[in-house]
Structure 1
Amino acid sequence: MATHPPYPALHDGQSESDLEFERFEYLASPRMSVHRHASETEMGVSEIDGMTVHTQDPQTDTETKRPGFDWSGSWAWEIGSVTLAVVGLVLLVAFLVKINNTPYATWQYTASPNTVVSIIVTITKAAVLVSVSSCLGQLKWNLFQNPAPLYNMQVIDQASRGPWGSLEVLLRGIFGSKTGSLTYVGASLTVLALGVDPFAQQILTFPSRTVAALNATAFAQTSQQWYPIGDSEASDVFLELQPTLLTPIMSGLLQTHSPLEPQCNASSCEFPEFVALGMCSKCEDVTSRTNQKCQVPEYSAFWDDAHPAFRETPMNCSYQSPNNFSFDFDGFKSMEYGHDNNVTFHMFHWSSRPRESDPTFDIQTPIVSLIEVDYTNPVIYTLSNATAPPAKPLVTECAVYFCERRYSASSYLPGTRNSRPMHVVDTQQLITTDAPEESPFYSRPDPVHFAPPNGSATLSKNPSYNIDHQTFSSFEPTMMSIFNSTAVFSGNVSTSDVLNLATILRKGNLSQLLDSMSTSVTDALRANPHGNKIPGKAFRVETFIHVRWPWIILPVIVTLGSIALLLGTAIGSKHRKAVLWKCTVLPLLSSHLHTTPENEIASVRSVDGMTDKSKKMRAVMVQDEGPLTFREK
């Protein structure tokens, strides 16, 4: 196989040195290739001045290797990073939408929702900073397409490496230094990226809320009727109240009664309005409306040692209350003489006097009505009022009667001592429509029915109220026995010597005692097995995940800002036909800096000195076939 000379023949007029230069260029040319695997029979060998040159067969075409894609010299990595940032932002929004307002108990993963948010935001921020850093790195090259202070090369390069340099760019922009609007955008995004993580920690909160509790118990008890429960409720004495009702009467008067609580095994329960058969009481202070008639006694041993004027004192008095209770006092129990002819009288009397169901106030058929007379305050006489009648005793009239009680809709918190779930908002008296005959041995199997007086409508939608005859007939004698009490004592006798109801009734506020008794008996009537259950709504407190959407604004701004910065930088670089050096420093190592003699910077060996000179110099980047050159302008 013939071989070809590896270099052109020597032309006329060419020196040997020129020939050697051409030979060097020819040998170094990439068009010259040597196939290592070709057989020696297909190769020609030539020797020129001791050099052996292998030549390829002329029939074999030389192939030029096609260069690969310049990844670093393009925007491919930056486009990929902003794409990753957008994907991360979309995933973040989708994740937040999915978990927003969901119970925290349904989160079954090891990592908490805040951890997931932090991971997504961290990846997104890292992807954003890749693009922003590259854009800032490229902007420093674009800036020097036109004359600019040489120091700006350092400033923008520092901005591409972190927030401190970016903050310097922003501060210099405030004081008049111009590094380009895109540079300010990039520096701002770098600084704002510092707040992305704190903002991400504020996106999720975990407040508590009240939700319906499934399969929970919630009901209040009510009843519009009462019947004894078999023989166990029968009293050993005829017409005596059953223990299940006598006990509430006593616990109410002793004020040891615990209110009937609804059944609720959830965090809280709500109950609607309802009406129940119950007992009510009403008391009024009628002292001022009680009529008093007093007379002078014919003789009294009290006046033997007293001033004669006191013999005309009207000590014998009779009283009549507004509801026709009558009682008399025929004299005082003791008398004390004081200085200046003052006399103090003491009655030492307290009594509670019941009577059968006569109308009292506006109550037409009370179970029992009673009057409380309290004459325990001393009466002081002087010569100036010796003939005046004595002060009236304190007189209180009360009535206890059957009624219907309307309870308001309420909320109940189990275990809360101050919670009063069942609050009475209205009452209405009830009268019997078929009362039994007046006989102590009268008993019938059918119940006693009640209705509002004067044909008024009941508070309940169900107008039926009834109690068995035995219980109804037992209430009146029991009440008469309890409230028929009198105490006559001297001031030196301790009330703890004898424990009786007189001690309890006179030491307390009778109106409050009767109200407590009425509530206690009503609760007993409501809780009877023949009653009804008022269903309520049960609620529980759960922790849920709440998204505070305003806190996602900063990650969105940084991500969208990075996209805008990349587009602006790419378009500006293409318009200037600038090489995409970006953050690489190798071009600076191979570049030349041409300055005037007075601004010679290469020999400066202090940072401050070089910084001062670079701030004074304006340079422009020259890109030609030679090395990269910065020339002072």
Structure 2
Amino acid sequence: MATNPPYSALHDGQSESDLELERVETQASPRRSMSVHTRHSTETHPETKPPGFDWGGSWAWEVGSVALAVVGLVLLVAFLVTIKNTPYATWQYTVSPNTVVSIIVTITKAAVLVSVSSCLGQLKWNLFQTPAPLYHMQVIDQASRGPWGSMEVLLRGIFGSKTGSLTYVGAFLTVLVLAVDPFAQQILTFPSRTVAAPNATAFAQTSQQWHVGDSEGSEIFLELPSTLLAALMSGLLGTHTPLEPQCKASSCEFPEFFALGMCSKCQDTTSQLQQKCQVPEDGDFWDYVHPAFKETPTNCSYQSPSNFSFDFEGFPSFTSGFGDVTYDNVTFYTSSWSIRPRENETILGIQTPIVSLTEIDYTNPVIYTLDNATAPPTKPLVTECAVYFCERRYSASVYLPATNTSAPMHVVDTQELIATDVPEESRTSYSPYPVHFAPPNGLATLSKDPSYSIDHQTFNSFESTMMKMFNTSTDFSTTSDVVDMTIFLRKGNLSELLDSMSTSVTDVLRANRLGKQIPGKTFRVETFIHVQWPWIILPVIVTVGSIALLLGTAIESKSCKAVLWKCMALPLLSSRLHTTTPENEIGSVHSVDGMTEKWKKMRAVMVQDEAPHTFREK
């Protein structure tokens, strides 16, 4: 009894009766049977197309990935070269330069990992072309999946496990890639620098002439203009604000320049003071003390190195009622202080000062005992000073307005100036002609321009004003006709006070209408993009290392004729393990650790000419 063919054997559109008829016809005509068979055979087995390029079984994707990594590296270098040392203010994009670097490095790192992972995946197949511990399949496969497995390969390499040098290189690159991002963050820094600011304004003021204007002059003969008198007072009182340059920028540089000014010089001459003392003729005061004090030389005269003479006669007359007196001990409190001005007296090497000053300070007590009853008294403290016209040289300097520098212009040298054309009658009458100055002893001026001058009125007024201002004392009847400056001069250091006064007057002379402006260079602070090239070394090493690893893995795979399974898991699913010892059968193992221990001891080789692929124990 004939059986119906299965449903799968029916041709599309044919019924069972049609098939039965076809069978009978075939039996009746063998030729037709062959024809039909041939037709069916043709329909059932169409012509197969030639196989295409095996992308998965080649290194095409890996070559593309390392090529992408190289392109990323080239783009990174090109980007860094483009933006290096450029002002950050010119960066007009939403994302920061660091973000761009991070994106490029991330793409490069991802491309490197693709190639390194594939190479590690292939190396586990290459390893088993010769007998090797079966556990190495697990170790290398984990290394191809990330840093943790790669660390295990490196650690086991340290402890002696052999998985191949290329495997160590791949594992090292996988771990090293983790440090690429932190290194990339260090490539760019944004420090500040000083650059030229061509549109800003900067100048310092100076002058080598002074001529009082109609609005500045005084109607009183030999009276200083108000601006100069205020400069004298503010300098002595310590309220002077130094003349600062104009600087409309973050910082300004000014060249060396020269100016007409006032200078001062002081020296403590106490040790050079000549002292001559005598016993006073009136000895009534000593009737209350020991007879030895009658021979005490208390009447003294003094002469300074500049030939200025002064006397202190009879201490008792000065201190009556203020001394501490006992039979064998006498203490005098003189409380004497004064400044004695002089006109045009050579002093301290200054040939023609405006005024010369001698400060006498006898405020320390004078103590006598029986041991020093016949000795002269201690000398008073004497300071000699000179105030004079001079030429000032200001050094090249940098001025920073933001720091509120109060004295940006620094004087590095001065030279005395002597009036060369002052007729005698001009000291008592008005002269329209200026007074010119020149250095003493035929010296050359510090400046290349030797022209220094001041009007006669101001020149003569300086001397008369200072003679009155500095004639001060605490025990003499003569006091200042302008203002009593005793309280200020006595409490301060005379050298420092005169220096402040001279600077104050010089600043007014520099800023007068006949002066000129010294142009300066202007600078501003800007943030710029700085490239730290050493930090790019790690991305370069990783990229070059991935190329070397790919070449090494490809050459090794070709030499051992291994199929490029790479990271595929399907070959493992279709393979089997042929063991020669029953205890190594997988069915006898019931724990992961147990399997791991057995695979560490088992050595196997992959046999590719068997179907399915076989790992045979050796």
In structure 1, distance between residues paired with 2:488 and 2:22: 140
In structure 2, distance between residues paired with 1:439 and 1:570: 107
Q: How does 1:21-420 map to 2 (within 5 A)?
A: 46-47=22-23, 56=39, 63-228=47-212, 230-299=213-282, 301-332=284-315, 333-335=318-320, 336-417=323-404, 420=407
| Residue aligning to 1:31 | none
Alpha carbons 1:287, 1:392 under 8 Å: kept? yes
Alpha carbons 2:286, 2:293 under 8 Å: kept? yes
Amino acid at match of 1:610: M
Give the Å deviation of 1:541: 2.0
Question: Residue 215 of structure 2 aligns to a residue in which SS?
Answer: helix
Give the Å deviation of 1:49: 11
Question: Residue 231 of structure 1 aligns to a residue in which SS?
Answer: coil
Aligned residue among 466, 479, 495 for 1:511 = 495
Amino acid at match of 1:235: S
Question: Residue 450 of structure 2 aligns to a residue in which SS?
Answer: coil
Aligned residues: 588
Judged with a 3 Å threshold, the aligned counterparts in structure 2 of structure 1 residues 448 and 588 are, in CA distance, closer, same or farther, namely: same
Question: Residue 54 of structure 2 aligns to a residue in which SS?
Answer: coil
Give the Å deviation of 1:276: 1.4
In structure 1, distance between residues paired with 2:24 and 2:73: 69
Aligned residue among 602, 609, 619 for 2:604 = 619
- Unaligned stretches of 5+ in structure 2? 1-5, 14-20, 28-32, 477-482
Judged with a 3 Å threshold, the aligned counterparts in structure 2 of structure 1 residues 290 and 62 are, in CA distance, closer, same or farther, namely: closer
Say whether 1:631 aligns with 2:610.
no
Alpha carbons 2:390, 2:417 under 8 Å: kept? yes
Aligned residue among 563, 575, 578 for 2:547 = 563
Alpha carbons 2:63, 2:115 under 8 Å: kept? yes
Deviations 1:307-345 (A, max 9, x none): 444344333333322222222333231243533421222
Give the Å deviation of 1:231: 2.1
Alpha carbons 2:83, 2:529 under 8 Å: kept? yes
Amino acid at match of 1:414: P
Deviations 1:204-228 (A, max 9, x none): 1122222222322222222111122
In structure 1, distance between residues paired with 2:586 and 2:41: 56
Indicate the larger mover: 62-71 or 531-540: 62-71
Judged with a 3 Å threshold, the aligned counterparts in structure 2 of structure 1 residues 573 and 306 are, in CA distance, closer, same or farther, namely: closer
Judged with a 3 Å threshold, the aligned counterparts in structure 2 of structure 1 residues 63 and 502 are, in CA distance, closer, same or farther, namely: same
Alpha carbons 1:220, 1:535 under 8 Å: kept? yes
Alpha carbons 1:101, 1:546 under 8 Å: kept? yes
Question: Residue 486 of structure 2 aligns to a residue in which SS?
Answer: helix
Indicate the larger mover: 124-133 or 353-362: 353-362
Question: Residue 52 of structure 2 aligns to a residue in which SS?
Answer: coil
| Residue aligning to 1:481 | 468
Say whether 1:429 aligns with 2:411.
no
Say whether 1:528 aligns with 2:512.
yes
In structure 1, distance between residues paired with 2:610 and 2:372: 135
Deviations 1:126-154 (A, max 9, x none): 11111111111111111111111111111
Q: With the length of structure 2 as denominator, give the TM-score of the two structures.
A: 0.89
Give the Å deviation of 1:367: 0.5
- Unaligned stretches of 5+ in structure 1? 1-23, 29-33, 38-44, 490-498
Deviations 1:484-531 (A, max 9, x none): 112129xxxxxxxxx931121122221111111111111111122221
Amino acid at match of 1:270: E
Aligned residue among 610, 614, 618 for 2:595 = 610
Say whether 1:600 aligns with 2:585.
yes
Alpha carbons 2:244, 2:406 under 8 Å: kept? no
Alpha carbons 2:250, 2:402 under 8 Å: kept? no
Q: Which has the higher helix share?
A: 2
Question: Residue 350 of structure 1 aligns to a residue in which SS?
Answer: strand
In structure 2, distance between residues paired with 1:330 and 1:591: 129
Give the Å deviation of 1:574: 2.2
In structure 2, distance between residues paired with 1:371 and 1:422: 30
| Residue aligning to 1:448 | 435
Q: Root-mean-square deviation (CA), in Å? A: 2.9
In structure 2, distance between residues paired with 1:48 and 1:388: 167
